[in-house]
């Protein structure tokens, strides 16, 4: 037990032994002799300074930002690129949208008390924002030199702190379908899968571990299941369409959004990463160069079916799509593919 812990134990014992009326009399006399409560290291994040996404700690200004987009669309890669800059530090996955969803349910039904009271709504909003700021500040203290503090969470676009810069990343849904299917087989975690697909992992997961090469055949594994292909295609299409609608709305309300496509980042890494730094108000010249070691160069040397960084290529879907997968994908996501400018029409 630490000295402080021992003191606290002793104080609690004395407090329990003293009757309440005596405690009331003694309290003002005893309090000055007791140690002050421990300082709160994150108190600076309780309130925004000038806006909801800026805080000041010991005369140093910190700003928060967010990276979102579908899973397997390159959010890890963009995080690694951002972390090449000494004044930025991004970590994840926070998934504040889950807490945000809880607050939305809490506030929306008209017969519930919070929906009727402005004071309660203000307390809820302030509480959520304070929780986000404090959590992000607490988690990024390992990099005290960084002043731009970011969260990477694969999710749809939604302003977690109004006004904070948001980077939105998207990737061709066909590549995403292939990448996500390999990823789920590799991690083999039925708990992270929707219940209706957990049986597929139980069926194929152990086999993938033994001989992943076998799963290049897309008639087996997750890609061999029509419902899985349909679900993922629809999920991608709905996410894209949601984000395309949300982006102008957020921008018009004062939340800047920087949109990047994975394929563009591949084609012009330097130009796009410089644009990201500038979007965050940072000088691109101060960033370290991309390297194989930091996994910041586009693509990987060779395909590794047992790694989270499997291949990192764009257009890989051409080798894996069969007529069946193409038909299902078109039924669910043809329109989104055109709206995202991956295809001009559905004749591909």
**Region near another protein per CB under 8 A, out of 58-66, 93-101, 212-220, 290-298:** 93-101
CA distance 83 to 148: 10
**Region near another protein per CB under 8 A, out of 97-105, 169-177, 203-211, 261-269:** 97-105
Q: Report how many residues bind another protein under the rule CB under 8 A.
A: 39
Q: Please report whether residue 95 would count as binding another protein according to CB under 8 A.
A: yes
Using the 8-state DSSP alphabet, how is residue 153 labeled? -
CA distance 203 to 195: 14
Please state whether beta strands 166-170 and 60-69 pair in parallel, antiparallel, or not at all (unpaired). parallel
Q: Please report whether residue 47 would count as binding another protein according to CB under 8 A.
A: no
Count other Cβ atoms within 10 Å, centred on residue 187: 14
Residue selected from 4, 51, 61, 117 as contacting another protein according to rule CB under 8 A = 117
Q: With respect to another protein, which residue has the nearer C-beta, 98 or 288?
A: 98
CB of 106 to another protein, least distance (A): 4
> What is the DSSP code string of 24-55?
HHHHHHHGGGSPPPPP-TTGGGGS-SSSTTEE
CB 122 within 8 A of CB 180: no
CA distance 174 to 157: 20
Residue selected from 56, 84, 99, 274 as contacting another protein according to rule CB under 8 A = 99
Q: With respect to another protein, which residue has the nearer C-beta, 205 or 290?
A: 205
Q: Please report whether residue 197 would count as binding another protein according to CB under 8 A.
A: no
Q: Please report whether residue 25 would count as binding another protein according to CB under 8 A.
A: no
Count other Cβ atoms within 10 Å, centred on residue 249: 12
Please state whether beta strands 54-57 and 60-69 pair in parallel, antiparallel, or not at all (unpaired). antiparallel
Q: Please report whether residue 322 would count as binding another protein according to CB under 8 A.
A: no
Residue selected from 30, 84, 87, 130 as contacting another protein according to rule CB under 8 A = 130
Q: With respect to another protein, which residue has the nearer C-beta, 6 or 138?
A: 138
**Region near another protein per CB under 8 A, out of 103-111, 195-203, 246-254, 259-267:** 103-111
Based on the number of CB atoms within 10 Å of its own CB, is 307 exposed (0-12), middle (13-18) or buried (19 or more)?
exposed
CB of 88 to another protein, least distance (A): 17
What tokens appear for 22 in the block? 């005596």
CA distance 222 to 230: 11
Q: Please report whether residue 94 would count as binding another protein according to CB under 8 A.
A: yes
Based on the number of CB atoms within 10 Å of its own CB, is 275 exposed (0-12), middle (13-18) or buried (19 or more)?
middle
**Region near another protein per CB under 8 A, out of 115-123, 193-201, 209-217, 267-275:** 115-123
**Which residue from 284, 282, 242, 279 is spatially nearest to 257, judged by alpha carbons?**
279
Contact map string, positions 267 to 306, toward another protein, x by CB under 8 A: ----------------------------------------
Residue selected from 103, 259, 300, 348 as contacting another protein according to rule CB under 8 A = 103
The phi, psi pair for 130, rounded to 5°, reads -65, -40
Residue selected from 18, 30, 42, 279 as contacting another protein according to rule CB under 8 A = 42
Residue selected from 49, 84, 91, 300 as contacting another protein according to rule CB under 8 A = 91
Residue selected from 5, 28, 37, 289 as contacting another protein according to rule CB under 8 A = 37
What tokens appear for 25 in the block? 């009399």
List interacting residues with another protein (CB under 8 A).
15, 37, 40, 42-43, 46, 91-96, 98-103, 105-106, 109, 111-114, 117, 119-120, 123-124, 127-128, 130-131, 134-135, 138-139, 192
């Amino acid at each position: 037990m630490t000295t402080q812990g021992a003191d606290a134990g002793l104080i609690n014992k004395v407090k329990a032994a003293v009757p309440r009326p005596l405690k009331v009399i003694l309290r003002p006399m005893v309090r000055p002799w007791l140690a002050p409560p421990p300082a709160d290291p994150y108190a600076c994040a309780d309130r925004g300074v000038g806006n909801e996404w800026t805080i000041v700690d010991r005369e140093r200004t910190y700003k928060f930002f967010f990276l979102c987009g579908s899973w397997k669309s390159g959010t890890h890669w963009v995080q690694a690129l951002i972390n090449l800059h000494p004044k930025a530090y991004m970590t994840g996955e926070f998934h504040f949208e889950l807490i945000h969803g809880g607050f939305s349910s809490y506030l929306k039904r008209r017969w519930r008390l919070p929906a009727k009271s402005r004071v309660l709504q203000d307390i809820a909003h302030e509480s959520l924002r304070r929780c986000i700021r404090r959590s992000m500040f607490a988690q990024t203290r390992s990099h005290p030199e960084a002043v731009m503090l970011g969260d990477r969470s694969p999710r749809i676009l939604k302003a977690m702190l109004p006004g904070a810069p948001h980077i939105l990343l998207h990737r061709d849904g066909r590549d995403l379908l292939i990448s996500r299917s390999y990823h789920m087989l590799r991690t083999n975690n039925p708990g992270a899968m929707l219940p209706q697909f957990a049986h597929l992992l139980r069926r194929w997961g152990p086999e993938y571990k033994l001989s992943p090469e076998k799963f290049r055949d897309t008639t087996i594994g997750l890609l061999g299941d029509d419902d899985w292909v349909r679900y993922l295609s629809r999920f991608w299409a709905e996410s894209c369409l949601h984000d395309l609608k949300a982006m102008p709305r957020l921008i018009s309300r004062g939340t800047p959004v920087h949109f990047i496509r994975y394929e563009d980042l591949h084609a012009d890494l330097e130009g796009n990463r410089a644009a990201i730094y500038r979007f965050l108000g940072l000088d691109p010249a101060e960033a370290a160069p991309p390297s194989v070691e930091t996994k910041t160069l586009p693509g990987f040397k060779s395909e590794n079916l047992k790694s989270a960084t499997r291949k990192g290529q764009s257009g890989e879907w051409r080798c894996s799509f069969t007529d069946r997968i193409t038909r299902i994908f078109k039924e669910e996501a043809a329109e989104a593919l055109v709206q995202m400018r991956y295809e001009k029409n559905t004749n591909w």
